[in-house]
Structure 1
Amino acid sequence: MKKIMTVFGTRPEAIKMSPLVKELESRDNIETIVCVTGQHKEMLHQVLSVFDIAPDYDLEIMKHNQDLFDVTMAILDRIKPILVAEQPDVVLVHGDTSTTFATALACFYLRIPVGHVEAGLRTHNIYSPYPEEFNRQAVGLVSAFNFAPTEQAKANLLKEGKDEASIFVTGNTAIDALATTVNGDYRHEVLDWVDDARLITITAHRRENLGEPMRHMFKAIRRVVDEYPDIKVVYPIHMNPKIRELADEFFGDSDQMKIIPPLEVVEFHNLLANSYLILTDSGGIQEEAPSLGKPVLVMRDTTERPEGIAAGTLKLVGTEETTIYENFKLLLDDDATYQTMSVAANPYGDGTASRQIVDILLEKLS
């Protein structure tokens, strides 16, 4: 019997780790331990509820106005006694959050093997995205198992000197999650509001885009909305009050735009599935949208997911108003460009990543 612990703390992590937790729980020869940090709180537990996951441990670190110091120190302090008591054979962390970094560091201090899910993503700019690029590179230094979603991610790890025997290309568990959440008959009051208009979904929350970059992003979107009466825009907004203030300034008086609270995972995935196109500065959406056949304009200057750019389903448009405006309009006006981005191949796997990861762990830990 192998003891495998998963640790995650944010909504995006929970979405991508939940299919893996369910796969672990389905195996008779694995004792599964689930620890959540509570880096996000309400949004995290919404996802756990959807996937019917009850954590064994909740560090409950979230506090008002927490910063990177608060998150990192609280996790290190609270996870140590759990790791010491449980002594797992391996701890699985995901991606690039502060939860992932702090957990991997704690495991390193205690000489507990780390399995890094979604390993090998890189922009090669330590401050973009911030602090995520540092987090994922740092975790890569200590991980014993590197579950890369693509061949490009594997190549990144090899260039950094990782042992090829520790790298496994599995696809992305985000695609596994979509198989559970997307429903062709899904109905929601937001979709009723959209009616027969073209639905545009936007998400914007990155720390490095706060301030002037986000003002440029929002101004470009508002210009397009005012020119196209046949579109409606839905913005599930991040809880950061600074983002809400900016969104209200640019979008609050438009009857074609609806600012809504963060959606639980089933609602959000089905919103994406019903969208005409998506504008985002998020990471996970860049993986989910190709599976759904949705063009994505990425409002960032760099991306750690170049596979989507190469496949043609994503376009990197930065944060300058004119560039976003022109590319947004192009996808609304040019059917050929839209169709090319809609049918691009999904580079992120076939929805079996969780099964592959568990099979690999059982083989390597035996």
Structure 2
Amino acid sequence: MKLLSVFGTRPEAIKMCPVIKELEKQTEIESIVCLTGQHEEMLNQVIERFKIKVNYNLRIMKKNQSLTDITCNVLMQLGQVLENEKPDMVLVHGDTSTSFAAALSAFYHHIPVGHVEAGLRTYNVQSPYPEEFNRQCVDMITDLFFAPTEYAKEQLLNEHKKQSQIFVTGNTAIDALNITVETSYYNTNIEWCENHKMILLTAHRRENIGVPMERIFEAVNKILDKYSDVRVIYPVHKNPKVRQIAQKYFGNNSKVRLIEPLDVYDFHNLMNKSYFILTDSGGIQEEAPSLGKPVLVLRDSTERQEGVMAGTLKVVGTRTEQVYCEIERLLTDKEEYSRMSHATNPYGDGYASKRIVEIIKEYLKGK
């Protein structure tokens, strides 16, 4: 049995590497790994940390690449990999343009698709963009749906996907945390925040670039002007537009530390040391609850409704006053902070990868 795992971004790698490590233990499965290189530098950090053997790297990344560039280049180059390897299944993750193009290529070659983290939905194809479109399209051609939660499974059933093909596994992000987080972790960023409440900020999503991001950063600066016991650490995305806005709003603020993107080990441990998290990311919404960290989601909607329902996440949008008020509430309202930090984690027990691999083995044996 031969399985080809395809991914190309840092968030995908964080969630796929635990699955690949589990696949490497299997004597009856030949595990082939193909990187697209959609995010080259940040992707490589994760690969090195998890010590993953890479068989193919398409290296599609180029300066100012468009969604069309990514999709077309993956389709063109992955097709040759599929012809060479003839895998029994292609495994993709989540909602990136890499996942969409890889699943489509597998479909064109009549190869079954396994979708890790299937069933997440906002049902607004413009938010998040283009991720909502990508994941719905992937699930149109998926053969095995690895839903992280019962809620995700319900979305798939509502779309008339076959129940026999849907498996609730938990989220592989929790598996990764079990590998990376260390209670004794310490570095200079944590030292800089000693005796302060450390807020970890991430903001990079396409639909937030521009006015929404500027409003978010304005709210953060207003908080820092008012509260002397707060500091912010912001690993800034490589996107030049994001960096320009970050520098404009935080470049002269001594209470904000702008740092380079972190590898998965450092980032997970920084999350664990934070007071709470401001983010427009998807994966962090799943990881932070496992660490007991409240998350304010800097978006108008989220496909991670389980976290909202459990109380670990709060969607606060991007308007300055709303973001400011919600940050202030977590800083000053001890009951609200305690409620969010002690809410039940809805995303699994750290054994999602084992379940996924066992399901794939049974499926391929049946084939």
Q: What's the TM-score bracket when you normalise by the shorter of the two chains?
A: over 0.9
Residue range with higher mean Cα deviation, 290-299 or 188-197: 188-197
What does residue range 200-211 of structure 1 map to in structure 2 within 5 Å? 200-211=199-210
Deviation at 1:242, TM superposition (A): 1.2
In the other structure, the counterpart of 1:64 is 63
What does residue range 187-336 of structure 1 map to in structure 2 within 5 Å? 187-336=186-335
Alignment size in residue pairs: 365
Q: 1: CA distance between counterparts of 2:362 and 2:2?
A: 14
1:127-157: CA deviation from partner (whole Å, max 9, x where unpaired): 1000000000000000000000001100000
Unaligned runs of 5+ in 1: none
In the other structure, the counterpart of 1:112 is 111
Aligned letter for 1:58?
N
Q: 1: CA distance between counterparts of 2:3 and 2:323?
A: 44
Q: 2: CA distance between counterparts of 1:45 and 1:142?
A: 29
Deviation at 1:247, TM superposition (A): 1.0
3-state SS in 2 of match to 1:116: strand
In the other structure, the counterpart of 2:47 is 48
Q: 2: CA distance between counterparts of 1:317 and 1:299?
A: 6
Q: 2: CA distance between counterparts of 1:264 and 1:364?
A: 34
Residue range with higher mean Cα deviation, 133-142 or 239-248: 239-248
Q: 1: CA distance between counterparts of 2:221 and 2:240?
A: 20
Q: 1: CA distance between counterparts of 2:10 and 2:352?
A: 19
For normalisation by structure 2, the TM-score amounts to 0.99
Aligned letter for 1:159?
N
Deviation at 1:318, TM superposition (A): 0.4
Deviation at 1:244, TM superposition (A): 1.2
Q: 1: CA distance between counterparts of 2:317 and 2:161?
A: 31
Q: 2: CA distance between counterparts of 1:43 and 1:228?
A: 33
Q: 2: CA distance between counterparts of 1:162 and 1:222?
A: 46
3-state SS in 2 of match to 1:255: coil
3-state SS in 2 of match to 1:153: helix
Q: 2: CA distance between counterparts of 1:240 and 1:361?
A: 36
Q: What's the Cα RMSD here?
A: 0.6
For normalisation by structure 1, the TM-score amounts to 0.99
Runs of 4 or more consecutive aligned structure 1 residues displaced over 2 Å after TM superposition: none
What does residue range 352-363 of structure 1 map to in structure 2 within 5 Å? 352-363=351-362
1:244-293: CA deviation from partner (whole Å, max 9, x where unpaired): 11111111111111000100000000000000000000000000000000
Aligned letter for 2:151?
Q
Aligned letter for 2:170?
G
Matched, 1:27 2:32: no
In the other structure, the counterpart of 1:4 is 3
Aligned letter for 1:6?
S
3-state SS in 2 of match to 1:91: strand
In the other structure, the counterpart of 2:132 is 133
3-state SS in 2 of match to 1:229: coil
Q: 1: CA distance between counterparts of 2:74 and 2:243?
A: 28
Q: 2: CA distance between counterparts of 1:296 and 1:185?
A: 23
Unaligned runs of 5+ in 2: none
3-state SS in 2 of match to 1:245: helix
